[in-house]
Each structure stands twice: as C-alpha cells, then as structure tokens.
Chains A and B, each alone.
Chain A
Amino acid sequence: MPPETLRISDLRVGFGEVLAVDGVDLALTPGRVHALVGESGSGKSVTGLTVLGLSRGGNAHIEGTIAYGDRDLATLPEPELRRLRGRELAMVFQDPMTSLNPLHRVGRQIAEMVRLHDRVNKRDAARRAVELLREVEIPDPERAARAFPHEFSGGMRQRVMIAIALACRPKVLIADEPTTALDVTIQAQILALVRALCQDHDTAVLLVTHDLGVVAQYADEVSVMYVGEIVETGTVSEVLADPRHPYTNGLLGAIPRLRGKRKDRLATIPGSVPVLTAATASTIGCRFAARCAHVHDRCDDRPPVRDLGAGRSVRCWLERGEDA
C-alpha cells in the first residue's frame, strides 16, 4: 500500500442533538479513489465537509481525528485550516447549478482560486484559468473563460467546478455526489475525468455517492456507511464480489439489473434510515438490526469492527457461512 494522504479515525460530528457521523474510520491514498457509499442521511456528505472544516460553526461539535501529514484537521485552528483549503484540500459539490457565483465570469472564479494560493499576477492567473478549462475538456476555453455560469449546461458547470477544485493541485479532493444532479451520459464523462486527473496529479479522492454502479466503475476502495458509522470497508472488487455486511448485501440486491434472470420485484431494504441522537446512540446495539434479516440476540450489543486483513473490515456479529 502506498503511504496514506489522510486518515480519519473515530470521527464524530453532531449538530445539536442529532448525531450525523458517529465513528468513521477511513484512509485516503494518493491517486486512488475511495468511495463512501450509503443512503441519504447516512452522514457521508457531513464526513466529506468535515475534512475541509466546512461543517464547523453553529451548533456543530466535532470529535475524533483527521490526520493529514502531522496535522489534525479536526482540531486545526480555522486560520490554518483556511490556508490548506483550496491549496491542499479541495471539494466538488453536488449541485453544479448553485456552486458557481452567477455574477462572476467563469475564468475569474478559477483565477480567484489560483491567485489566492499561488503568487501570480492577474494576467497569469487568467491564462492559468484557460489552461485549466482546457484540462477539464471544455471546448473553446478562451471563450468559456469569459462566459458566465448561466451560459453553461450542468455538466459543463461541473467541469468548471472541477477546474476550480484542481487548480492548485490539491492533495485531497472530496467529490460530494458530483454527478447526482447530472444525466447518466454526462455522469460517466465527469467521473472518468475526475479519476484521470487525480491519477495524473496523485490526488487522493473521497468520492461520496449513493450509487454502487459508480463505485464499481470509478473507485478503488469503498466504505459503506449506515447511520453515521462505517459498516464495511475494503477494495471495491472484494466488497462487491463478497459483501460481508447484510446492509452491503441489501444495497447490492437493490440495484436494478437489465441482464440476467429477472426477479419478480426489485429487492428493497425494509424500513428507512433512522435519525440518531446522542441519547439513542449509546442505548442501541447494531444500528442496522431493525432492518436486518439476520438479526439475533447478539445484535443488542454494538458489534465491534472486525479486521479481516488486507484493508478489509466489517462491523457485524455475523460469521462467514452464517449468512443465508
């Protein structure tokens, strides 16, 4: 395994009473894509935002460590974290329609990032912006730099957002459902672009998604998240081929398939994601128990994370062979 760029250990993020993230461990390595997958409300976006310190403020409380080099991003003072933001830690957001400033030209929005972190003059920053637009494969980048966001389609805006995020060659890129708002053909282009660019520049990527199809195609490692905690981690090929947690299994079963034997109805996981508060977190055992087909007595206690070797781990009492 190559050296880690970033390691999140036992991260807990709460907003007032609600516990959004409760015990997340994951590591990012240079040039590789780590997918964080889960249903809406599982806390995956909050995990991504917390890495950049964007979930701070208000009634948020953050515990645990986010080791980055010799620094801990979870406790790093805001001014120091701000200097890392953009330069070394960048993020692409879910909705490209709102993540660009409608009043500024696209070139200026990229140049703003360049000028903030690299000591260059306005002209060089503008030239760099055009280069970056070319890098994200926007046609006629000189003209595109002078255009306003509303003149672009959603996919093009997300390319601009990627150009902004990668402008300073960050060490870590958080991609928070970057293609959820886009249609499927554009989705493939954008994800392939992110992957290729990050491999070229040795950027470690955390790809937040709810789409296991995306995970299968574009990620190297995957962590499955459920109600604030990670229930299963491993390389994509192993986890998808041999899921060890009933929740992962359930997610895989809920993917509609076009080929092969057609089942009568699409399998679903019964129930919905509960909201976790600090009070309930300490009393319930396995969080998936209420929706799990394999629930038994032991599930009243919180299952430990079991290391299965080679970067694989699972948080479940079930032993191999026990699952039906």
Chain B
Amino acid sequence: MTALELTQPTRASGLVRSPVLRRLLLVPVISFVVVVVVFLAVRALPGDAAQLLTATMNGATPQEIAQVRHNLGLDGSLLSQFWTYLDGLIHLRLGSSFYSGRPVADLLGSALPATIELAVAAALVSTVVGVFGGILAARHRDTWIDTAIRTAATVGFSLPWFALAVLAIVVFGVWLEWLPIFGRLPNTVDYQPTTGFVLIDAFAQGRFDLIGPWLQHLALPALTLAATSAGFVCRITREAYLATSEEGFVRTARMKGLPERGIAFRHVLRNASVPILTVSGMQFGSLLGGAVITETVFSYPGVGSLLVEAVNRRDYFLVQGAALAIGLMFTLVNAIVDLAVLAIDPRTRRAT
C-alpha cells in the first residue's frame, strides 16, 4: 500500500546533493558575476582613465598618454583587459589609487573593517529593534501600541539617510553635544591597527580605553543607518507574525494546551523567522548603499567614503575596488542568510 509508506525524499538530480554545499558553491559563481559586472560598469563610465590621469600633467603628448594607457593595461582588447584584471584580483593586486598612489588593496584593507563594523552594528540594532517592535505590534494588534509602532516604522523607513544623518548631527552633535559627529576615533587617540577591527584590536592589544570613544563615534552613523532597516524589518516581522499566528499548527499548539508564551516562541516565531531573515538579508544590501551616504556625511573612513571620494576624483581603480568590495560583502551576507534559512526550515533542505 503506497499511501502507507513514508514518502521517499526525491533523489537529487544535480551533481551536488547537499543543499548546503550547493548554496556554498553558488558563492564563487555569484562573486564571479559581481566581478564581471563591476569590471564592465567601470569600463562603461564616461572618460578614459589614461586621459584623466594625464590631464594633470601639463601638455601630455599622445605618446605619453599611450604610454600611461599601456602601463595601466588599458590598451588591450576588453577580454585581455579582463584577463589582466582577473589575474590581478587573484594576487590581490587591484591597481593603485591615482590620487594617493597607494595600492587600492591597502586602502580597502583599512576601510573595509570600518564599514563592516558600521554595517554589522546597524544590522544588529535594526534587527533587534525591528523584530521586537514587530512582535510587540503584532501582539497588540489594532491597539494604540500597534498604531504607534507602525507609525514610527513608516517614518523610519520613509526618511532618507542623508536627511536623518543631518538631523542626527544637528540634534545630537551640535545642539545637545552628546556624541561626536566626525570620524571613527578621536585624533588624540593613538591607534595602531592589527586586524583593523577596533573591538577585536582592543582585546588583542589590551587597549580597553579604545572601546568607549569607538562606540561614541559609531553610535550616530550606526543608528542613522539602522533606522530605515529597523522600520522595514519591523513591518515584515509584524506581518509574518500575524500570518503565522493564523496557521493551522498554531491552533494545534493551542489544542495541546500549550501556554501562549510557548506558542509564541516555539511555533509562531520560529516559523516567522524565515521571512524575517530573508528580508533582513536583502535589507543588508540597501544598508550597504546607505553606508556609502552615511559614511560620507559623518566622514567615517569606510569603503563608502572611499567610493564617493574615488568617484569624485575619477580614481579609476579605487572605484573598481570599492564597488567590488561592497558587492562581495552583499554576496557573502546573503549566502550566510540562506544557510541560516536552510538550518531553520527542513523543507528548504529537500534535495531536488
């Protein structure tokens, strides 16, 4: 009797059976696409790097321009350029900044930890605030609490970053003078990076005096950045929580005699966490976009500031490197989110 048998999981049709491995293998594939897109986008920018670079020299001859172009590896076909570019990437040679002459890899090496700190802090704050706010709103559905939270969430994600950043600077930095509005650490602090992450270095070097000023400097940009995401996560959490509360298995849990708290945590939240996680992951992308703006407003020395400066100065290889760094960060975070979803939901682990 076939109906009595446990349905057999369908056999994997692809080469890789483990869904986790399959998702991990996607990372290099997507990364390659990111590399190609960044390469092409930068080539599509108006203006020729060699011309821009030689424009500062007085009366560069066509021969000199050609020489520069050759030195930059920009004279070959698109394919050979791409090949040179890939070869450089593998050896972490991303070219040098036109402006400072420093290698792009070094510049990114010091800016990336700052941006990761900012993005992680903002993602943490927005997820915690958003999820708690969403649950609170859902549990007090259609009361003044719900209305207040939903209004705050809508305001949060409707305000553009630059407006919020300027507002934060004026209120907390200038009027109240509570928090610093500039940079990552005060100039008076002597900080020699080991890993580039202040928090990790503080522990590694035993420099616990760094943590206080670091947090103060991080607070305003991180909160500015978190506001939009928090509003978004809050609304998604509320909807997911309410939708899951209507599910049959929640009624089953109630039928079992479980107390409401147990139902909320073991049954509702766990199921609602899948859409919440997915949205938070995608939200990280716009968070990185916001970081570009926020870092610039707060003169925070991250990849975003670097990118804006580079674009302003037509710093060709720096634009390419910074865009690549942001793209790859997003790819990585989404891979982590997808793995988390795989861990939570067994249906996604089905081999197809």
* Interface residues in chain A, defined as those with a beta carbon under 8 Å from any beta carbon in chain B: 52, 54, 82-87, 90-91, 93, 95, 97-103, 112-113, 116-117, 137-140, 143-144, 147-148, 150-153, 155-156, 161, 164-165, 185-186
B308 close to A (CB within 8 Å): no
* Neighbouring B residues of A100 by C-beta, 8 Å: 248-249, 252
B260: min CB distance to chain A, Å: 9
Q: Mark B325-351, 1 if CB is under 8 A from A, else 0.
A: 000000000000000000011110010
Q: Which residues of B contact A99 (CB under 8 A)?
A: 248-249, 251-252
> What's the minimum C-beta distance from A177 to chain B, rounded to whole angstroms?
13
- Summed over the interface, the residue pairs from A and B with CB atoms below 8 Å come to a total of 93
Question: Min CB distance, A288 to chain B, in Å?
Answer: 31
B3 and A185 form a contact (CB under 8 A): yes
Contact, CB under 8 Å: A101 / B267: yes
Q: Min CB distance, B277 to chain A, in Å? A: 13
Q: Contact check: which of B6, B259, B344 meets A151 at CB < 8 Å?
A: B6
CA distance A152 to B255 in the complex (A): 22
Q: Answer whether A164 and B4 are a contact pair too, CB < 8 Å, given A85-B257, A116-B257.
A: no
Name the one of B6, B345, B346 contacting A139, with C-beta atoms under 8 angstroms: B6
> Contact flags (1/0) for B263-294 with A, using CB distance below 8 Å?
00011001100000000000000000000000
Give the distance in Å from the alpha carbon of A261 to the alpha carbon of B259 in the complex.
56
Q: How far does the alpha carbon of A256 sit from the alpha carbon of B337 in the complex, in Å? A: 54
Of the candidates B7, B256, B271, the one whose C-beta lies within 8 Å of that of A112 is: B256
Contacting residues, chain A, for B271 (C-beta < 8 A): 101-103
CB A190 to nearest CB in B, in angstroms, measures: 11
Report if A95-B248 is in contact (Cβ < 8 Å); known contacts: A102-B345, A156-B6. Answer: yes
> B259: which A residues are within 8 A, CB to CB?
82
20 new A-B contacts, CB < 8 A, other than A97-B248, A101-B253, A148-B346, are: A54-B251, A54-B254, A86-B257, A90-B255, A91-B255, A93-B248, A93-B255, A99-B248, A100-B252, A102-B271, A117-B257, A138-B4, A139-B5, A139-B6, A140-B6, A150-B346, A153-B7, A156-B3, A164-B252, A185-B3
**29 examples of A-B residue contacts, CB within 8 angstroms:** A52-B255, A54-B251, A54-B254, A54-B255, A82-B257, A82-B259, A84-B257, A85-B254, A86-B257, A93-B248, A93-B252, A98-B248, A98-B249, A100-B248, A101-B270, A103-B344, A113-B256, A116-B256, A138-B6, A148-B346, A148-B347, A150-B346, A153-B7, A155-B4, A156-B3, A156-B4, A161-B252, A164-B256, A185-B3
Binding site for A on B (CB under 8 A): 3-7, 9, 247-249, 251-259, 266-267, 270-271, 344-347, 350
- Let me know if B252 and A101 touch, CB within 8 A: yes
A52 and B347 alpha carbons, distance in the complex (Å): 31
Q: How far is the CB of B254 from chain A (nearest CB, A)?
A: 6
Cβ–Cβ < 8 Å partners of B253 in chain A:
101
Q: For B347, what are the chain A residues with a Cβ–Cβ distance below 8 Å?
A: 102, 148, 150
Expressed in whole angstroms, the Cα–Cα distance for A56 and B345 within the complex equals 31
Q: How far is the CB of A59 from chain B (nearest CB, A)?
A: 11
Tell me how far the C-beta of B189 lies from the nearest C-beta in chain A, rounded to whole angstroms. 47
**A186 pairs with B345, CB closer than 8 A:** no
Task: List the A side residues contacting B345 at CB < 8 Å.
Answer: 102-103
Do A98 and B257 touch across chains, with their CB atoms under 8 A apart? no
| Cross-interface CB contact of A103 among B9, B248, B256, B270, cutoff 8 Å | B270
Residues of A within 8 A of B251 (CB): 54, 93, 99
B254 near A143 (CB under 8 angstroms)? no
Would A139 and B4 count as touching, CB distance under 8 A? yes
CA distance A88 to B134 in the complex (A): 35
Question: Residue on B with the closest CB to A105?
Answer: B346
When chains A and B are docked, how far (Å) is the Cα of A153 from the Cα of B346?
16
Contact A87 B6 (CB under 8 A): no
- Nearest-neighbour CB distance to chain A for B81, whole angstroms, equals 49
Tell me which residues across on chain A come within 8 A of B9, comparing CB atoms.
151
Q: How far is the CB of A15 from chain B (nearest CB, A)?
A: 15
Give the docked Cα–Cα distance between A155 and B2 (Å).
Answer: 11
Instruction: State the CA gap A148–B5 with chains docked (Å).
Output: 14
CB contacts (< 8 Å) of A151 on chain B: these are 6-7, 9
Whether the pair B4, A137 counts as a contact (CB closer than 8 A) is yes
Provide the residues of chain B in CB contact with A137, threshold 8 Å. Answer: 4
Chain A residues near B6: list those with CB within 8 A: 138-140, 143-144, 147, 151-152, 156
Determine the chain A residues whose CB is within 8 A of the CB of B7 once the complex forms: 151-153, 156
Question: A87: which of B254, B257, B266, B270 is its contact (CB, 8 Å)?
Answer: B257
* Set A85, A93, A98, A153: member contacting B3, Cβ < 8 A: A153
